[in-house]
Structure 1
Amino acid sequence: MTELLMPLLEKASPGARVITVSSAGLYTSPLTKDLQFSESNFDGSMQYARNKRLQVALTEKWAENYSNKGIGFYSMHPGWAETPGVAKSLPGFSEKLHGKLRTKEEGADTVIWLALQPEEKFVSGSFYFDRAEAPKHLLFSGTAGSHSNIDSIIKDIRSLCSFSS
């Protein structure tokens, strides 16, 4: 969908932005080509982490591919916030940390900040948390080299969606 919007984003540039809301869940999974769980049994939490890792890798790739178009691409994570989604998906976690998680407003802070600040403050393709650039990979997490798979994954996604370049 983002790539289908590129002509409109180009018209809105300079200053057009794409902000991908990811999650710290990305730290638990490398980028993998197995988007359909064909190599293992489906695991919802793992799929979530894989999707969040993919979002960050796609954001990097868009920044690389469209850097000369005047469009900024940023990914971020809001921290753990008390939302209906967290309560439904992780009920035990939500109950245990009730009152200790961020409010929805606190969770939205960095995405709003990315949308409103001058683009010169940011690095396109970067990942942000609490109004600062954050690492995309944690030491010893086994995710650092996985973004090299992004081109073949994009090709697979395009094929699944019958979308050509």
Structure 2
Amino acid sequence: MSNPHSAAVPTADDLLRGVDLAGRTAIVTGASSGVGVAIASALVRAGAEVTLAVRDVAAGDQAAEAIAAQSGAHARPAVEAIDLLSMATVRAFAARWGDRPLDLLINNAGLMGPPLARTEDGFESQMAVNYFAPFLLSELLLPNLAARTGRVVIVSSGSHHFAKLRLDDLNYGQRDYEKFEAYGHAKLCANLLAVEYSRRHARQGVTMNACTPGGVATNLGRHVTFEDAVRLGWVNEDGTLPHGRMKTADEGAATPVWAAVAPELAGQGGLYLEDCAIAPIWSPSLPSGWGVTAASLDPDDARRLWDVAETLILKEVA
């Protein structure tokens, strides 16, 4: 079988060549390093007014200065504090945003493979960062997005293939915690969030799509050992990669940017995007981890998950 990832890989700037985003506003979470910086940089160079929503404001300021220096005459992005491990800071960020209209919300920030930890809200940390916080932020900013028929993007992962939905135990209070299963579970939930968010808000013209940037070497992998990577099949024992090279951050930013601006995606939500295309539903004819599982786009599970998660968020922040 030919490798579907073997074609030339575009960068975010390639996708935005000739695109004018002047007058458009965007928020990019986790934009102090890695793919988040690459997404924000490309949007700024295309003329968008970008806010870096970051946990480490000093690192965000450094990223903003670097983006401004690389972008010539384009404006320096704004920097705002948000900690996706705390629903209170998510609410505070949305309150500071106020009633300003918003065109693009890129839920890029992620957490992968840490030891078991619980947040101040009682959420397992990977579920908090990868699912609960994007859920809450996207809901709080819905009026701002509706004012511009905005788009929401949530960054997912092929690791969703390796988990099954557990509505009865989203925060690992009942079952043993395995850090990479937990990561896949949170990303599966992110896919389902895109489905139900888009269904609920279709009348307001706001959509959410999930996407994977692909394999990119960033500090997202700071909790991953070499032995972990071999066991998961991400690298061979000799350190080579089983499916070609890792993407650069600029290449990893391409699919999230495509999700944000592609004309052909106008009005379409609840999709899982991979390599700047709508991903196929996984079948045995595809290699493991490629495409998207049907279970992670199931509309009935998406509704049930929404109801459970909404109750947890309201309970914890009441």
1:111 aligns with 2:256: yes
Structure-2 residue corresponding to 1:123: 268
1:62-141 alignment, distance < 5 Å:
62-86=197-221, 88-92=222-226, 93=229, 96-97=239-240, 100-118=245-263, 120=265, 123-135=268-280, 137-139=281-283
- Matches of 1:120 and 1:22, distance apart in 2: 18
- Map Cα deviations across residues 45-67 of structure 1 (whole Å, 9 max, x no partner): 11110010000001011111111
Distance 1:44 1:101 in 2: 22
Between 144-153 and 54-63, the greater mean CA deviation after superposition: 144-153
Describe the shift of the 1:97–1:18 C-alpha distance in structure 2 as closer, same or farther (beyond 3 A): farther
CA RMSD for the aligned pairs?
Answer: 2.6
Paired AA for residue 144 in structure 1: A
In the other structure, the counterpart of 2:189 is 54
Count how many residue pairs are aligned between Structure 1 and Structure 2. Answer: 159
Supply the distance in 2 between the matched residues of 1:97 and 1:84 (Cα, whole angstroms).
Answer: 19
Shift of 1:80: 0.6
1:4 corresponds to which of 119, 136, 140: 140
Unaligned stretches of 5+ in structure 1? none
Deviation for aligned residue 1:11: 1.1
Higher relative contact order (CA 8 A, sep 6+): 1
Match of 1:42 among 153, 157, 177: 177
Q: Deviations over 1:66-125 (max 9, x none)?
A: 112111221100111111222x13231377247931111111111112222225567321
Q: Is the CA contact (8 Å cut-off) linking 1:82 and 1:101 kept in structure 2?
A: yes
SS of match in other structure, 2:314: coil
Distance in 1 separating the partners of 2:173 and 2:156:
24
Residue pair 1:78, 1:130 contacting (<8 A) in 2 also: yes
Query: Closer, same or farther in 2 for the Cα pair 1:123/1:100, shift >3 Å?
Result: same
Question: Which TM-score applies when normalising by structure 2?
Answer: 0.45
Question: 1:22, 1:75 within 8 Å by CA — same for their partners in 2?
Answer: yes
Q: Distance in 2 between matches of 1:149 and 1:118?
A: 29
CA contact (8 A) 1:32 1:149 kept: no
Of 155, 178, 183, 1:21 maps to 155
The normalised TM-score by structure 1 is: 0.83
Identity of aligned residues (%): 25
Larger Rg: 2
Matched, 1:153 2:305: yes
